Amino acid sequence: MSKANKHIPIRTCVICRQKYPKHELVRFTCPRTENELQIDPTGKSPGRGFYVCHKERCQKNISKFRGWRNKCKGVRHVQNAR
Ligand SMILES: [Zn+2]
């Protein structure tokens, strides 16, 4: 009865590729427009998202990280309307 093995979801930081318990990561969700990342402070927003750890390096690199565009492919609501 004392099995304190709670299920902890593990997620991977998209920058450093290290694995962390979900609650130690910052969740970003796919934006509705192409250029803005949205931080999801509750971790509960619907839709696709990805995770970045709290390391300063990773937090800085998230602005340069392009991979999220792929991750968010197909979620884009705004198209080039021309
Ligand atoms: Zn990281």
| Cα of 6 from ligand 1 centre, angstroms | 24
Give 17 Cα–ligand 1 centroid separation in angstroms.
Answer: 6
Using one digit for the tens of pLDDT, what is the confidence trace for 25-73? 999 888 766 667 788 888 788 878 889 999 999 999 987 887 777 777 7
Rg (CA), the chain: 15
Cα 37 to ligand 1 centre (Å): 17
**Is residue 22, in this structure, part of any structural domain at all?**
yes
CB within 5 A of ion ligand 1: which residues? 13, 15-16, 53, 55, 58
Please tell me the predicted confidence (pLDDT) of residue 1: 58
User: Is 81 within a domain?
Assistant: no
- Asked if the structure places residue 15 within a domain, the reply is yes
pLDDT score of 75 more than 80: no
CATH at 35: 3.30.1230.10
* Number of structural domains the chain divides into: 1
The predicted pLDDT at position 33 comes to 65
Structural domain including 48 reads 10-71
Strands of the 26-29 sheet, one edge to the other: 38-40, 26-29, 49-52
pLDDT of residue 2: 57
Residue 5 in any domain: the answer is: no
